[in-house]
Structure 1
Amino acid sequence: MEKKYWVPALEKANDVLQMISVQPSKLRLIDLSNLLGINKSSMFSLLNTMETLEWVVRETEGTYSLGSKLGFIGNAFFKQFSLIDRFRKEAAVTKHTIQETIQLAKLEQHEVLYLAKEEMPSPVRLASEPGMKLPAHVTALGKAMLASLDNSTVMQLFPQEELEPCPTAHTINQRSELLTQLEIVRVDGYAFDLQEAVMGFCCVAAPVHDAQGKAIAAISCSMFQHEWEQKRELAQREICALAARLSQSTS
């Protein structure tokens, strides 16, 4: 592995955590120092910092065990995958109610990262696949998640008034217009994409919240524009209900 931009202190901290994980509550500072070949003063600084960060806990006998913060981070790691699993289970039912494909995504800076989708058979396949990214402002998914942020944060993500080149004639191209739409999304609790990402397709999306109320993802349903008028209310109702169920399961 190339170590051109390597941080040695982080590597040492990782080695310490690995060693403690193998022998919890058994190793003292001097033991870790000898086992890892790190001098005692450096080891003291590492352990003191990690203890303050709650990465490790110093026991009464002077030995160390892993701290609660690592448990929180580990739980968050596995939760992101369990969300996908829960999405697949729940969306597999909802897609048959709406008779349309349902997608799951999360926000990464000013873009939407697609995580999963439950697909209905169709002669036209949605271009968005897990791992694909699109500008957040052109999608209902992106607007549903951007609405959970305050305007100052949104403006940091989109520092220019002119937004990225528009994929269609209906796409928002001004930041001020985006901010206006986000105010509506905050009130309604869901967002629309009316032929803004792809001509001929409309979409509704709703955010998925964690136990603290933070939008950690969003789900959406896309369909042909000519079906939109017939299914709009059904799709809106079912997507909001699905988002609510997924939000409850993350708390």
Structure 2
Amino acid sequence: MEKKYWVPALEKADDVLQAISEQPSKLRLIDLSNRLGINKSSMFSLLNTMEALDWVVRETEGTYSLGSKLGYIGNAFFKQFSLIDRFRKEAAVTKHTIQETIQLAKLEQHEVLYLAKEEMPSPVRLASEPGMKLPAHVTALGKAMLASLDMPEFVKLFPQEALEPCLTPHTIGRRSELLKQLGVARVQGYAFDLQEAVMGFCCVAAPVRDAQGQVIAAISCSMFQHEWEQKRELAQREICALAAKLSQSTA
């Protein structure tokens, strides 16, 4: 990796954490200093900062072990993959009930990042492949997740009244209108995209929550507009049920 923008202090912190992970509750400050070639003053500052951040714990004997924050981060790392696995298992059933493709995504700033999808055979494939991003305000997935944000967070993502880009004639173009839709989505527990991302397609999405009730992802079902009129209530019911099931499994 190019080190043009390298931060040496982070590299040293990584070395410290690696050493502690290999010998938890065994190494003191002087041991870490000697092992890693970091002077005692710098090592003291590193350990003191990491202790304040709950990255490490200083025990009564002066030795160090890994802190609770790393356990939380590690758990979140593995949960992101287990959520995808659970989605694939559960959505494989739901897609046959609705007879439509089901998608999973998470919010990244003002965009949605598609994580996975369970696809039904169709002459027309959805363009939203895993790894792809779309503006959050044009998608039901994005609205389902944006609805959980407080106003300061929302304004930070959308500082202007005009919303860009506009992908279809139905795309929401004003922040005030988006706020109205998010208010409805917050109450109902689901959000719609009515030809706002792609002409001829409609979508319903619902949020997935973690054990603390925080929105961590969303799932959706998209279909042709003419099918939407027939299957809207079924899709809404099944997507909400699937989102609830995935939320329960994260607890």
Distance 2:193 2:186 in 1: 15
Q: Which runs of 5+ in 2 are unaligned?
A: none
Distance 2:210 2:67 in 1: 23
Any conservation in 2 of the 1:148–1:215 contact (CA below 8 Å)? yes
The answer as to 2:189 corresponding to 1:186 is: no
Distance 1:73 1:155 in 2: 27
Any conservation in 1 of the 2:103–2:118 contact (CA below 8 Å)? yes
The answer as to 2:17 corresponding to 1:20 is: no
Any conservation in 2 of the 1:95–1:101 contact (CA below 8 Å)? yes
The answer as to 2:79 corresponding to 1:84 is: no
Deviation at 1:236, TM superposition (A): 0.1
Cα deviation digits, residues 7-50 of structure 1 (max 9, x gap): 11111111000011111111111111011000111111111111
* Matching residue of 2:138: 138
* Matching residue of 1:67: 67
Q: Which runs of 5+ in 1 are unaligned?
A: none
* Matching residue of 1:160: 160
Distance 1:106 1:122 in 2: 25
Deviation at 1:247, TM superposition (A): 0.6
Aligned residue type for 2:215: A
Identity %: 89
Distance 1:26 1:184 in 2: 55
Deviation at 1:243, TM superposition (A): 0.2
Aligned residue type for 2:166: C
* Matching residue of 1:206: 206
Distance 1:220 1:183 in 2: 19
Deviation at 1:6, TM superposition (A): 1.6
Distance 1:46 1:114 in 2: 37
Deviation at 1:151, TM superposition (A): 2.8
Structure 2 SS opposite 1:217: strand
Aligned residue type for 1:162: A
The answer as to 2:134 corresponding to 1:150 is: no
Cα deviation digits, residues 106-130 of structure 1 (max 9, x gap): 0011001000000000000000000
Deviation at 1:167, TM superposition (A): 1.1
Cα deviation digits, residues 74-131 of structure 1 (max 9, x gap): 0011011110011001000000000000000000110010000000000000000000
Distance 1:158 1:61 in 2: 51
* Matching residue of 1:172: 172
- TM-score by structure 2 length? 0.98
Q: What's the C-alpha RMSD, in Å, of the aligned pairs?
A: 0.9
The 4+ residue runs of structure 1 with deviation greater than 6 A are none
* Matching residue of 2:127: 127
Any conservation in 1 of the 2:135–2:165 contact (CA below 8 Å)? no
- TM-score by structure 1 length? 0.98
Structure 1 SS opposite 2:196: coil
